[in-house]
Chains A and B, each alone.
Chain A
């Protein structure tokens, strides 16, 4: 019987420093890891443990998987000690995908905060890959400072894509920053899509998720059209170890993306 806990090997082809604490790892798994946008994988550094990450690459890219990681705990610190040519363990995918077929023909409004743009990038690139299926794709992204913006070198290319509309903000600007200053909700005062039929997808720190969700609800987005990436402390990936419980859900198995309709009755879902 196959063991869902057993990682396979993935070679690190390349690393890209996004910010002083955020790095993208380009991985080549020894076998296909058939994730779909929204799902996540577990990366292992033997001796240091494993941690869950949502890939940041398109799910149409099958040869390699990119994962953008913030150095914050034990496993991520160990990952930052690895370089191109080294290997990590990978297992998955786990959790539920975005139901992209129900996004077709609609405006899709993505809101990211900080390193929360990493999992959204997987969805963004997967949408862009088949952009004719969707009406338009909006991306609203906020970081603390210009330095802490991830994918700085890619955003100008994304802005040129047809049917794509991008706006950025930072909490604190600098001399070179000419765009908006303020938390990401300052980009949401004038939402340029039909709120009653559009899809919104949010990923960021808990407090950002909370205020963005309220803003979307106030703007008229339907609860079942607001998708939230609820990243709790996940461990097993199989809905067994208990860590990631959120109300009646295990975010690893039932999420990590849940709709506002699913969680709006859970008191304090963003705590």
Chain B
């Protein structure tokens, strides 16, 4: 596909043109928190493109922290289905790590063809794709923003990604100073960039140089296929006790993780209204696995910390061929106990090999 150029001075016009046909979402600076968050854009000047990464990953636009699945009237039998209630939209300024995580979410929420079970020939009736996620995903075009200056906690190059990776994106913008190189990935992305001037060879080679420079700043590397094999045999290893001692099971790593997809479904009933609600949940909480009988298969912090690590780096790759981590580094910067996932993985590699 043809790479194109978007001069920065033309960005407001480009966004205004997009906004005529659909909603535009992009990171906006939250002054009180010195952080950026994806928000609906009314004025192009609100967009903040000089952020390292948003506090919460872009997953919240597809899988909100809390959403109504359907409503019911107390005492009545029928329930009304809520739709995802999204309009066609462009999300601009998505970091490559967050976009790669949506590719993983597609495996969880949409592609139900893969199952670990050899009994799987028997079919379950009805659709199994998540209608709320799928509607939002289908109605969204993703414009990425390449990272020329990855942060200290970033390690996407170790997880099948990269600072200029196009995985999961429709179009990637690369900052070349006074202009962006626009690199289409899908037909949807190509259509958005159609009106822009073609990039020259020197623009493309400059983008390639920037990608190399960005990569060169990221030195964490680990052989994840090998680690997956070691982890498969390490369930009872004492290393988990050592690794989990600092962990307070607060769950923040799961909330800020672009690839964590676990949720809970609860009913909320008030005097004159009721709703079934889906909220993010975390495998770090003791209630997550507790049976109604009180029996709990993962009763302590160690088993929960181990479960999260194994899910991401052993179980998920076993069935889906990808680790459930995109190296965004949010769990590292947000952990109150100072746990660095990179160090955890290195310790596991060194101890188990």
Contact = CB atoms under 8 A, between A and B. Distances in A.
Given A238-B112, A242-B281, A3 B131 contact: yes
The interface centre, meaning the residue of B117, B118, B126 with most chain A CB atoms within 10 A of its CB, is: B117
Contact of A99 (B122, B131, B267): B122
B268 to A, nearest CB: 8
A36 interface: yes
Interface stretch (B18-26, B197-205, B257-265, B328-336): B257-265
B77 interface: yes
A35 to B, nearest CB: 8
Given A47-B269, A232-B289, A248 B263 contact: no
A4 B126 contact: yes
B269 A254 contact: no
Contacts of B283: 242, 245
Interface stretch (A5-13, A144-152, A154-162, A196-204): A5-13
A215 B109 CA distance: 39
A69 B265 CA distance: 20
Interface residues of A, number: 62
B266 interface: yes
Contacts of B69: 5
Interface in B209-263: 235-236, 261-263
Contact of B315 (A2, A46, A247, A271): A247
B39 interface: no
Contacts of B119: 96-97, 99, 254, 257-259
A51 to B, nearest CB: 7
B65 interface: no
Given A36-B122, A240-B130, A267-B236, A235 B117 contact: no
Given A9-B77, A233-B291, A254 B116 contact: yes
A152 to B, nearest CB: 22
Contacts of B261: 240, 242
Contact of B115 (A5, A247, A253): A253
A96 B117 contact: yes
B74 interface: yes
B292 A51 contact: yes
Contact of B265 (A4, A49, A259, A266): A49
Prevailing SS type, chain B contact patch: loop
A206 B128 CA distance: 29
Contacts of A72: 292-293
Contacts of A255: 117
Contacts of A262: 117-118
Contacts of B295: 205-206
A232 B297 contact: yes
Interface string B280-302: 01010000111111010100000
A243 B109 CA distance: 15
A46 B122 contact: no
Nearest to A251: B117
B319 interface: yes
A245 B308 CA distance: 11
A9 to B, nearest CB: 5
A239 B112 contact: yes
A2 B116 contact: no
A9 B78 contact: yes
B306 to A, nearest CB: 10
B122 A97 contact: yes
B25 to A, nearest CB: 23
B269 A242 contact: no
A255 B129 CA distance: 18
B40 interface: no
Contacts of A240: 108-109, 130, 261, 263
B318 A248 contact: yes
B307 to A, nearest CB: 7
A258 B118 CA distance: 9
Contacts of B108: 239-240
The interface centre, meaning the residue of B79, B112, B126, B315 with most chain A CB atoms within 10 A of its CB, is: B126
B252 to A, nearest CB: 17
B311 A245 contact: yes
Contact of A241 (B78, B262, B315): B262
Interface in A19-62: 33-34, 36, 39, 44, 46-51
Given A49-B265, A233-B288, 12 more contacts: A3-B70, A4-B130, A34-B125, A50-B267, A72-B293, A74-B292, A92-B125, A206-B297, A241-B264, A243-B262, A248-B319, A253-B117
26 contacts: A1-B129, A2-B131, A3-B70, A3-B81, A4-B127, A4-B130, A5-B265, A5-B276, A6-B70, A7-B79, A9-B78, A36-B122, A47-B72, A49-B265, A72-B292, A97-B119, A97-B122, A206-B297, A240-B130, A242-B261, A245-B307, A248-B315, A248-B319, A262-B117, A267-B235, A267-B236
What are the 10 A-B residue pairs with the smallest beta carbon separation, nearest first? A73-B292, A242-B262, A47-B269, A254-B117, A267-B235, A96-B119, A97-B122, A72-B292, A248-B315, A49-B267
